Chain A
Amino acid sequence: ILNVEQSPQSLHVQEGDSTNFTCSFPSSNFYALHWYRWETAKSPEALFVMTLNGDEKKKGRISATLNTKEGYSYLYIKGSQPEDSATYLCAFTGSGNTGKLIFGQGTTLQVKP
């Protein structure tokens, strides 16, 4: 089974702090990398889908970068707000089986007012 690792496991920051998390995935046979945001008692929601090495995506204060050669992606949140509190999941798909999505265990972010 392919391994997708996320770090840190949890993070506590103050409102206004900027933060970032890491997703590590197999660097061979890359097909796509997804980021999801999962709020408590809700369902995961897609943030970004990244497919090309060097991809950078942005949505408001949240952005992500992708390095497929070394097998990592960063998610950045600028000026964290309490409503950013959630678990952030990344998921990898390899070119050998494009129907499979392998999730990391997530980074849980808590933003204190």
Chain B
Amino acid sequence: EAQVTQNPRYLITVTGKKLTVTCSQNMNHEYMSWYRQDPGLGLRQIYYSMNVEVTDKGDVPEGYKVSRKEKRNFPLILESPSPNQTSLYFCASSFYGAQGDGYTFGSGTRLTVV
């Protein structure tokens, strides 16, 4: 089944403890993105990648890192999480990017930083 898989679905962690949220897609998509969803603020793009080894900042990149060493994987790294990074995170992928068929989203990761 064609899908974007995020792990974990839920995570509670403490301030400062490094964590990685994984994202993998099995559709050979070129484009991948990370978003965070906060009440009243909508979906905001954190980072995106247009191909292997090509990544760029979205609108809210502070406090996050990404890497794209293989086409299928696009992990989101929080080196030192803080409570203001408590949010619902989505990974998404697309073959043609903005002019394709739209992005396929993962199931989401609800992160709580205490």
Size of chain A's interface in residues, with CB distance under 8 A?
26
Task: Count residues of chain B with CB under 8 A from any CB of chain A.
Answer: 29
Chain B 30-44 residues near chain A, CB threshold 8 A: 31, 33, 35, 40-44
Residues on B with C-beta less than 8 A from A32 are 98-99
Q: A100 CA to B97 CA in the complex, in Å?
A: 9
A99 touches B42 (CB 8 A): no
State whether the Cβ of B86 lies closer than 8 Å to any Cβ in chain A: no
Give chain B's interface residues, CB within 8 Å of chain A.
31, 33, 35, 40-45, 48-50, 56, 58-59, 90, 92, 97-108
A44-B92, A49-B99, A100-B58 are known; give 6 further A-B pairs, CB within 8 A.
Answer: A34-B103, A49-B98, A93-B98, A101-B103, A103-B35, A106-B42
